[in-house]
């Protein structure tokens, strides 16, 4: 009985870990990509992000690439991007082409739900960090180039 309980607990722990942890790339896609998104969609998109990653707190700002494909975004980590050195010395990737980006900014001072967001629309080169597999894992906010 004790061995069965231990094995069951181990399987449950592994399953919960796998289910609850998105890869960095999956998290990037969920937070920063939605083809066809419009500024009016900010409240809905941010509700999903806040519940999933911010433990029901309201993230202050988040940018979403809205007119592209994941393949074009991923390519910025390779031939469709160039090295971009940040002031702090980190070397990220800057897209060679521009993307349509919706930036959702929290209204009001509180970071507790209910959260309301105002969306703004821009076309810009994106600056991202990539992993060893040449997949995006971080969107650098505030770089309208």
CATH number at residue 58: 3.10.130.10
Catalytic site includes residue 55: no
| Annotated active-site residue in 32, 55, 57, 143 | 32
3-state SS, residue 7 = helix
The pLDDT of residue 18: 40
Domain that holds residue 39: 23-139
Residue 36: closest CA among 61, 65, 62 = 65
- Per-residue pLDDT tens listing for the chain (145 residues): 555 434 344 344 443 434 446 899 999 999 999 999 999 999 999 999 999 998 879 999 999 999 889 999 999 999 999 999 999 999 999 999 999 999 999 998 889 988 999 999 999 999 999 999 999 999 997 655 5
| Long-range own/partner contacts, residues 123-127 (CB < 8 A, 24 or more apart) | 123/98, 123/99, 124/98, 124/99, 125/94, 125/95, 125/96, 125/97, 125/98, 125/99, 126/65, 126/73, 126/76, 126/94, 126/95, 126/99, 126/101, 127/84, 127/92, 127/93, 127/94, 127/95
The pLDDT of residue 47: 94
Asked whether residue 27 is domain-assigned, the answer is yes
Asked whether residue 117 is domain-assigned, the answer is yes
The pLDDT of residue 1: 54
| Annotated active-site residue in 55, 57, 138, 143 | 138
The pLDDT of residue 77: 98
3-state SS, residue 124 = strand
Asked whether residue 31 is domain-assigned, the answer is yes
Asked whether residue 3 is domain-assigned, the answer is no
Asked whether residue 99 is domain-assigned, the answer is yes
Asked whether residue 133 is domain-assigned, the answer is yes
Residue 138 structure tokens: 């971080």
The pLDDT of residue 109: 82
């Amino acid at each position: 009985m004790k061995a069965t309980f231990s094995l069951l607990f181990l399987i449950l722990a592994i399953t919960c870990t796998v289910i609850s942890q998105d890869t960095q790339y999956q998290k990037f896609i969920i937070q920063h990509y939605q083809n066809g998104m419009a500024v009016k969609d900010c409240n809905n998109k941010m509700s999903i992000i806040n519940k999933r990653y911010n433990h029901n707190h309201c993230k202050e700002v988040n940018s979403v690439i809205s007119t592209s494909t994941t393949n074009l975004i991923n390519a910025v980590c390779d031939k469709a991007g160039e090295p971009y050195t940040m002031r702090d010395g980190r070397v990220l990737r800057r897209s060679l082409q521009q993307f349509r980006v919706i930036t959702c900014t929290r209204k009001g001072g509180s970071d507790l739900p209910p959260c309301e967001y105002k969306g703004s629309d821009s076309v810009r080169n994106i600056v991202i960090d990539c992993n060893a597999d040449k997949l995006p894992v971080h969107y650098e906010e505030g770089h309208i180039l």
